Amino acid sequence: MSPSDVQLWLSICSMVASLGTIIFTVLTRGSRDNSVAIRKVDERVLDLEQKVARMETDMRHLPSKDGIQRMEITLAEMNGKIAVLSERLQPVAAISERLQEFMLERAK
């Protein structure tokens, strides 16, 4: 084999290797694009999982439907008791006004 034959074979091998590299790059380009897209989706999923976890934590602290109903009933009862107390305090307020007037008249 002459040096020119060796050089020819080396250039053919080099060209085949270059062509193989180009084909490999073209074929794997889609998978690299997909891996970037998958990484972005993973980040979004992680963000959503964190938001859901925070919402679940917040929801645990909120009263249930039954708890809210009990609070409404208790508030209604308290409003009734406050109305009765207000009615009962009116005579006391009238007495204190009369006492104040009496003391002012006596001071003169």
Query: Taking a C-beta distance cutoff of 8 angstroms, is the pair 39, 32 a contact?
Result: no
| Each residue's pLDDT expressed in tens, for the chain with a length of 108 residues | 788 888 888 889 999 899 888 888 888 777 777 888 899 999 999 999 999 999 999 888 888 889 999 999 999 999 999 999 999 999 999 999 999 999 988 887
For residue 41, the model assigns a pLDDT of: 93
Domain hosting residue 108, numbered range:
64-108
33 falls within a domain: no
101 falls within a domain: yes
What's the pTM value of the predicted model, to 2 decimals?
A: 0.44
For residue 63, the model assigns a pLDDT of: 86
72 falls within a domain: yes
75 falls within a domain: yes
